[in-house]
Amino acid sequence: MTTLTNARIVLPDGVTSGTLHIDGGRIAESSAGDTLDLEGRYVVPGFVDMHVHGGAGASYQSGRAEEARRAALFHLAHGTTTTIASLVTGTSDELANAVTALADLAAEGLIAGVHLEGPYLARDRCGAHDPALLRDPDRAEFARLVHLGAGHLRMITLAPELPGALDLVRDAADAGVIAAVGHTDAPGDTARAAFDAGATVATHLFNAMRPLHHREGGPVAAALNDPRVTAELINDGVHVEAAVARLALAAAPGRVALITDAMAAAGMGDGDYRLGVMDVQVRDGRATLADGTSIAGSTITMADAFRRAVTRLGTPIEEAAAAASLVPARALGLDSRVGSLEAGKDADLVVLNDDMSVQRVMKGGRWS
């Protein structure tokens, strides 16, 4: 039982000065026990990263528990208390093995679920996915992966223009899996059809999708105009420039979720890495395929994305906190437990210094 005093507590509707009570791993109305003076530091909800491939030199794609653990703990140290492990396109067997292994770690509580980014993606918008492994939606394959996920397959990204894609969107909804529109060259009417069929997320808005045009809005306009849709945004200053990021946040208030899309190089510095079967080079913190044809994920943490929103985009801290926590938590159906500092929710929180740097992280009432 702990009481955090002298804190600036960031709530969805603003910042309040006061105390925060932690009891039994949850936020409480009141508590006895130890008292910690935060000396006026900010307290924000633990970050929820709904799209991340790895970090600290480790990749979720490997399906190895020790790698997944290293990646998750690295991001936890930077404030991500809820992680969805993302997989890039692979063979059917590779994805099956990775989903099985990650489902065990989700059951353990290390991660909050698995995201399949592919393999049903548009070749012309494949980004850092191996085009040789892309394929049309396969409902039987998807059903197998849902089964292997044992309730922990949380999301799948697909291109809605592919044959059978809308049927798979409906299958996903029936299975309790979030369908996300991404890596797509779909026109706006096809994207809207996917959202009507049950898709509720736009994967890394603007990136690897048909761009916004004033005579054909494509998936960008479809996502920003649909109140049912959460739009992911990689706020690293590489994938989306500041002016465009501000535009998205203004166009869809309360529906933009900051993500990292981080790969193994996060926290490791420049060098040569792998993303799935693709060779990746990181130079000056920018990850690209070795041949330079595409950006290959990011090297940021959620703390970086959040701090950049506040200090570079000028986003009010409560709105940035929501974009990094409550919005993705709602999209994932986890907002009854995480995403905001409310009594009864898990005691997942981040203590920040005035410069928005992470001072301490708590998950489930325990300091990390």
Question: Which CATH number belongs to the domain containing residue 36 in this structure?
Answer: 2.30.40.10
Q: 181 with 283, same domain?
A: yes
Looking at residue 313, what is its pLDDT? 98
Q: 26 with 61, same domain?
A: no
Residue positions annotated with a catalytic role: 261
What's the first-to-final CA gap in the chain, in angstroms? 16
Q: 29 with 88, same domain?
A: no
Looking at residue 1, what is its pLDDT? 86
- Beta carbons of 344 and 97 less than 8 angstroms apart: no
- Beta carbons of 124 and 87 less than 8 angstroms apart: no
Average pLDDT in the chain: 97
- Does any domain span residue 350? no
Mean pLDDT over 156-161 rounds to: 98
Q: 67 with 134, same domain?
A: yes
DSSP codes, 142-193? HHHHHHHHTT-EEEEEE-TTSTTHHHHHHHHHHHT-EEEE-SB---HHHHHH
Question: CATH no. for residue 206?
Answer: 3.20.20.140
Looking at residue 20, what is its pLDDT? 96
How far is the C-alpha of 55 from the C-alpha of 240, rounded, in Å? 21
Range in 69-83, 86-100, 136-150, 272-286 the model is least confident about: 272-286
- Does any domain span residue 17? yes
- Beta carbons of 349 and 360 less than 8 angstroms apart: no
Q: 26 with 99, same domain?
A: no
pLDDT at 358 over 90: yes
- Does any domain span residue 349? no
Q: 186 with 321, same domain?
A: yes
Type of residue at 82? T
Looking at residue 309, what is its pLDDT? 98
- Beta carbons of 218 and 191 less than 8 angstroms apart: yes
DSSP codes, 5-67? EEEEEEETTEEEEEEEEEETTEEES---SEEEE-TT-EEEEPEEEEEE-EETTEEGGG--HHH
- Does any domain span residue 124? yes
Number of folded domains that form the chain:
2
Looking at residue 182, what is its pLDDT? 98
The percent of the chain in helix, strand and coil, each rounded to the nearest 5, is: 30, 30, 40
How far is the C-alpha of 272 from the C-alpha of 236, rounded, in Å? 20
Looking at residue 31, what is its pLDDT? 72
Q: Report pTM.
A: 0.97
pLDDT tens digits for 220-279? Answer: 999 999 999 999 999 999 999 999 999 999 999 999 999 999 999 999 999 999 998 899
- Does any domain span residue 343? no
- Beta carbons of 326 and 335 less than 8 angstroms apart: yes
pLDDT at 165 over 90: yes
Which residues 6+ apart lie within 8 Å of 208 measured at CB? 125, 126, 127, 182, 183, 184
- Does any domain span residue 127? yes
Looking at residue 249, what is its pLDDT? 98
Q: 11 with 156, same domain?
A: no
- Cis peptide leading into 119, omega within 30 of 0? yes
Q: 21 with 75, same domain?
A: no
pLDDT at 292 over 90: no
Q: 114 with 30, same domain?
A: no
Looking at residue 277, what is its pLDDT? 87
pLDDT tens digits for 10-69? Answer: 999 999 999 999 999 999 998 777 899 999 999 999 999 999 999 999 999 998 999 999
**The domain containing residue 30 runs over which residues?**
2-43+355-367
- Does any domain span residue 249? yes
The torsion region of residue 104 among left (phi > 0), alpha (psi -120 to 50) and beta comes to alpha
Q: 37 with 141, same domain?
A: no
- Beta carbons of 199 and 169 less than 8 angstroms apart: yes
Looking at residue 260, what is its pLDDT? 98
Q: 32 with 98, same domain?
A: no
Q: 144 with 17, same domain?
A: no
- Does any domain span residue 348? no
